[in-house]
Amino acid sequence: MIYESVTEELKERFREAWAVVVLTGAGVSAESGVPTFRGGGGAPVWKGMPVEKIATPEMLRADPVTFWEWYAYRREVIERAEPNPAHRAIAAWEEYFERLTVITQNVDELHQRAGSHAVVELHGSLWRVRCLQCGVRSEDRRVPLPEIPPRCPSCGGLLRPDVVLFGESVPEAIFSQAVAATATCDLFFVVGTSAVVYPAAVLPALAKHNRAFVIEVNPETTPVTEVADATILGRAGEILPLFSPRENGARGE
């Protein structure tokens, strides 16, 4: 069902919920000035290449300079970006519900910067790196990077971002956390994702199967729209703050 605004009925669903999951994609960071992948369906993101081509282990091996130019660019954009009202609204919801889990496809850590604590990073974080030589994983927030491609401080090996590239699997422990939260929630938000990338894209259907109420927030319809109980056509930064627990005070007050 398509909605142009947040109705009283949807606010009632929000107030009544106990265990909430918010699945987010690049659209939740769009109003922070972080470019989306434009529907995840083939639009070029860097030097004419779509995300499906550049965000691959093949690209990292074949052309580490071009691969890392794109990630260095994204790190610079994200470092300058601030969480927007969508990230902040989701963070504020945490104290209102018995359980609130953010499952994000994003690698920008803007949910954490907005104050969210329970964040499942399906695709990792571009603020962590891993050495291809010695395997050491570490946090790396240097902007700009001292060299492209960056090298491991302890063994000089090539570093890679600690993200899940296309063709790589989401770590089992991470995905089962996402499945567990999805299978036991009564309200499931899908915010700012084109829902074409798997396995993240199976989660809305799993939520529906577990009889959660599914609310999609996106300026456009997506494959989730036919699964969702409500698709609110709008920008996350405008829509999410309208579900404000503030009005109702914390539960039980």
Catalytic residues: 123
Provide the mask over 64-103, with x wherever binding to ligand BV8 is found by CB under 6 A and - wherever it is not: ----------------------------------------
* 3-class state of residue 184 by DSSP: coil
Whole-number Å distance between alpha carbons of 195 and 176: 19
Whole-number Å distance between alpha carbons of 15 and 99: 13
Instruction: Identify which of 223, 230, 219 has the alpha carbon closest to the alpha carbon of residue 200.
Output: 223
Q: Which of 10, 21, 89, 197 binds ligand BV8 (CB under 6 A)?
A: 197
Residue placing its CB nearer to ligand BV8 in the complex, 99 or 128: 128
133 binds, among Zn ion, ligand BV8, none (CB under 5 to 8 A by kind): Zn ion
Is 222 near ligand BV8 (CB under 6 A)? Answer: yes
Is 149 near ligand BV8 (CB under 6 A)? Answer: no
Residue placing its CB nearer to ligand BV8 in the complex, 136 or 163: 163
Q: How far is the CB of 237 from ligand BV8 (least distance, A)?
A: 6
Q: How far is the CB of 18 from ligand BV8 (least distance, A)?
A: 25
* 3-class state of residue 50 by DSSP: strand
Residue nearest to ligand BV8 (CB): 27
Residue placing its CB nearer to ligand BV8 in the complex, 73 or 166: 166
77 binds, among ligand BV8, Zn ion, none (CB under 5 to 8 A by kind): none
Cis peptide before 144 (omega within 30 of 0): yes
Which amino acid belongs to residue 43?
Answer: A
The b/e string for 128-140 (b: 16+ C-beta within 10 A; e otherwise) is bbbbbeeeeeeeb
Whole-number Å distance between alpha carbons of 153 and 139: 12
Residue placing its CB nearer to ligand BV8 in the complex, 4 or 253: 4
Is 172 near ligand BV8 (CB under 6 A)? Answer: no
Residue 120 phi/psi, 5-degree rounding, is: -100, 115
Q: According to CB under 6 A, which residues from 102 to 131 bind ligand BV8? A: 105, 107, 123
With residue 214 as reference, give the H or E element that holds it. strand 213-218
Residue placing its CB nearer to Zn ion in the complex, 132 or 233: 132
Count residues binding ligand BV8 (CB under 6 A). 36
Binding site for Zn ion (CB under 5 A): 131, 133-134, 152, 155, 157
Q: Residue 135: CB partners within 8 Å, gap ≥ 6?
A: none
Tallying the residues shown for the chain, one arrives at 253
